[in-house]
Amino acid sequence: MLTTLFRVIKYGFLNFWRNGWLSVATLSIVVMALLVFEGLIIFNVLTKTAIETFKDKIDISVYFKIDTPEDEILRMKKSLETLTEVKIVEYISRDKALEVFKERHKDDPTIAQSLEELQENPLMASLNIKARNPKEYAVIADNLEKTSFRNWFEKITFAQNAALIERLGKIIDTAEKGGMIMIILLAIIAVLVTFNTIRLAIYSNREEIGIMRLVGASGSFIRGPYVVEGIIYGLMAGVLSVIIALPIVYFISPYIEIFIPEINLLFYFTSNLFILLGYQLLFGVSLGIISSSIAIRKYLRI
Amino acid sequence: MIIFQNVSKIYNGNGHKATALEDVNFTINPKEFVSLVGKSGAGKSTIIKLLIGEEKPTKGRVIFASYDVNKLKLKELPYLRRRIGVIFQDFRLLANKTAYENIAFALEVAGRLQSDIEEFVPQILEMVGLKEKMFNFPKELSGGEKQRVAIARAMINHPDVIIADEPTGNLDPINTWEIIKLLLKINELGTTILLATHNKDIINYLGRRVISLEDGKIIRDEEKGRYVLV
């Protein structure tokens, strides 16, 4: 049993070596397929981060009349927090608002001066509401219109931004769905191309397989070396694709940071290098094993 | 040892039927040297394919030793084939393995020990006169040399029978005689030989049992046969 296993592994390596160009050609196809996988993983991370960033920037603010008692505002905050659509409600008191305002305009002496002259804090208290899902802002806004606290409201920002928020929500939705479809499609293409390449490599060996059968080799003794070859393709392609991707990521990372400042692609890539490599090896090896096992089946029926 | 009982083989292709064998009966005893003769298409190759389980008969039974060949499952076929050595006109060597590895492969598939392989393979290569070309690949060997590798591979497992399907078809006269002498030597050592050929000189030289086929039927089965033109 052990001798057989040893022989199967030996022939796997020997075939890989002796097939020369065929092995190189097959290997490069597997590398390309894995690069697509890698690209998909990175693309997925990018869109997710980008979408999260956009989502985070959308909110509704309710401004209260200057004479609204703080208790009322806090009561309203509590009641808002019970809504399932609401992710977080942030209370910004009049003092807090002033502080932020001063901080933001500290380099502008005219504003500081006019504030001094006013003596009283002109800013309104507000509740800043973020929804779990951008599509739910309409529901929240509707809720705000009907609430018993309505009389204390000075203004709601949603009315001004309604169209924009709704559109952003739609864009995010399409981006998520479209991204998913693209990922599935590309993954299927990569799998099919790899499968076909390995199938062709085995097809070119069909006569040899027939000869092995005639000499009395069992199915598994013939299949074994091809599966080992598949594993070799997977392992080598996994390592190669990460090595190839590294300089590419290094090169494009600064450009992506211009579009989405929250993302440092190079940092993501290097800090997740081993997880990525693990994924690649897993993809590559299982692709190699499955493709070669399926492809060889029909030639073993003699 | 080999029994064909009322064997018929009909190929079914696109509506029309082609009869390759019709009601064939014969028995081959251990240590016999039997020649199968007939024109191309007479059914020689079909008999060989049925014997090694590459095809199944439409009717009848094929028996080899204790095996009912056409009832064997795909998984059981290798065990049958390890007891039969096969030699073909087109040699059928594994192109990306050396002469040594081609022969060793037949031992490896039978699960033999590495030490056995290292002992037996050079021995048999010496017997067929190819010890110097042990590490050459098939493409570096001549036709006669390739056929001798194939014979060495066929006999390494000490099979009960060696089947040779037109083994000299691609060889020049000198190599042809060397191969035939080699087969005779193997037969003297106790292995049954089934030789399919249409070489008249070989048949007449051998003076052994001859089974003549025509259009899928046995027309003659003679103990000391000669090649008779039909």
Percent of chain A topping pLDDT 90: 10
Residues facing B192 on adjacent strands: B161
Predicted pLDDT of residue B9: 92
Residue of A nearest to B76 (CA): A218
Whether the pLDDT of residue A235 is over 80: the answer is: yes
Contact A219 B86 (CB under 8 A): no
Nearest CA in chain A to B152: A215
Mean pLDDT across B41-61: 91
Give the distance from residue A289's alpha carbon to the nearest chain B alpha carbon, in angstroms: 21
Cβ-based burial of B61 (10 A; exposed 0-12, middle 13-18, buried ≥19): middle
Q: Can you give the residue ranges of every domain in chain A?
A: 2-54+170-300, 57-161
Residue B7 lies in a domain: no
In Å, what is the CA distance from A124 to each residue of A59, A98, A148, A154, A236? Answer: 17, 9, 19, 9, 64
In a domain, B109, yes or no: yes
Among A136-140, A268-272, B60-64, B110-114, which stretch is predicted with the lowest mean pLDDT? A136-140
The whole-number average pLDDT for the span A131-151 is 78
User: Does A19 contact B93 at a Cβ distance shorter than 8 Å?
Assistant: no
Which range among A54-58, B38-42, B210-214 shows the weakest confidence by mean pLDDT?
A54-58
A/B interface, count of CB pairs below 8 Å: 57
State residue B42's pLDDT score: 87
**Cβ-based neighbours of A239, under 8 Å, separated by 6 or more:** A277, A280, A281
Task: Please state, rounded to an integer, the average pLDDT across all residues of chain B.
Answer: 91
Give the best-scoring range by mean pLDDT among A12-21, A49-58, A139-148: A12-21
The reported pTM is 0.74
Q: Which residues contact B194 (CB under 8 A, 6 or more apart)?
A: B2, B28, B34, B36, B48, B51, B161, B162, B163, B164
- Does residue B4 fall inside a structural domain? no
- Is B164 domain-assigned? yes
Task: Name which of B81, B84, B115, B160 to mutate to probe chain A: the one with the most chain A Cβ atoms within 10 A of its Cβ.
Answer: B81
Residue B169 near residue B91 (C-beta atoms within 8 A):
no
A163-181 mean pLDDT = 79
The answer to whether the CB atoms of B78 and A301 lie below 8 A apart is no
pLDDT at site B135: 95
- Using CB atoms and an 8 Å cut-off, which of residues 129-148 of chain B contact chain A? none
Out of A18, A208, A214, name the one closest to residue B81 (CB). A214
Can you give the pLDDT at residue A50? 77
Over residues B12-29, the mean pLDDT reads: 88
Q: Which residue of A has its CA nearest to B94?
A: A208
Q: What is the DSSP letter of A123?
A: P
Q: Is residue B230's pLDDT more than 60?
A: no
**Separation CA A50–CA A73 (nearest Å):** 33
Q: Looking at the domain covering A57-161, what would its CATH class be?
A: alpha beta
How many structural domains comprise chain B?
A: 1
Which among A3, A216, A221 is the nearest to B81, CB-wise?
A: A216
- Our CA dihedral for A55, A56, A60, A61, rounded to 10 degrees, sits at -170
Tens of pLDDT, residue by residue over B183-210, are: 999 999 999 999 999 888 898 889 899 9
B78-107 tens-digit pLDDT: 999 999 999 999 999 999 899 999 999 999
Contacts of B204 (CB under 8 A, 6+ apart): B226, B227
Is the pLDDT score of A172 beyond 80?
A: no
Order of all β-strands in the sheet with B67-68: B16-28, B2-13, B59-64, B67-68
Residue bearing the bigger pLDDT, A106 or A225: A225
Query: Residue A169: what pLDDT?
Result: 75
CATH number of B109's domain: 3.40.50.300
| CA distances, B88 to each of A71, A210, B4, B19, B157 (Å) | 99, 13, 21, 23, 17
Say how far residue B93 (Cα) sits from the centre of its chain: 14
The token pair at B71 is 């009832």
Q: Would you say residue A159 has pLDDT above 60?
A: no
Check residue B141 and give its pLDDT: 95
Question: Which residues constitute the domain of residue B145?
Answer: 31-52+76-222
Alpha carbons A154 and A93: distance in angstroms, whole number: 14
| A161 pLDDT tier (thresholds 50, 70, 90) | low
Please state, in angstroms and rounded to a whole number, the distance separating the CA atoms of residues A36 and B69.
Answer: 50
> Rounded to an integer, what distance in angstroms lies between the CA atom of residue B167 and that of residue B87?
6
User: Residue A130: is its pLDDT beyond 70?
Assistant: yes
Q: How many helices (H) and strands (E) in chain B?
A: 7, 10
Residue with tokens 């003549």: B212
pLDDT computed for residue B119 by the predictor: 94
| Residue A160 confidence class, pLDDT cut points 50, 70, 90 | low
Q: Determine whether the interchain pair B108/A216 forms a contact, defined as Cβ–Cβ distance below 8 Å.
A: no
The ipTM estimated for the assembled molecules is 0.86
- Strand A60-64 and strand A153-156: pairing? antiparallel
pLDDT band at A17 (very low <50, low <70, confident <90, very high): very high
Collect all residues of chain A within an 8 Å Cβ-Cβ radius of residue B81.
Answer: 213-216
Strand order of the sheet with strand B192-196?
A: B84-88, B161-165, B192-196, B33-37, B209-214, B217-222
Q: How confident is the model at residue A83 (pLDDT cuts 50, 70, 90)?
A: confident
Q: Given this model, what pLDDT does residue A258 score?
A: 81
Q: Please judge whether B106 and A216 are an interchain contact, meaning their C-beta atoms are less than 8 angstroms apart.
A: yes
Do the beta carbons of residue B46 and residue A185 sit within 8 Å?
no
Tell me the shortest Cα–Cα distance from A205 to chain B, in angstroms.
10
When mean pLDDT is compared over A27-36, A186-195, B132-141, the highest value belongs to B132-141
Does residue B24 belong to any structural domain of this protein? Answer: no
Average pLDDT, chain A: 84
What digits encode the pLDDT tens for the residues A18-57?
A: 888 889 998 998 898 888 888 888 888 887 787 777 777 7
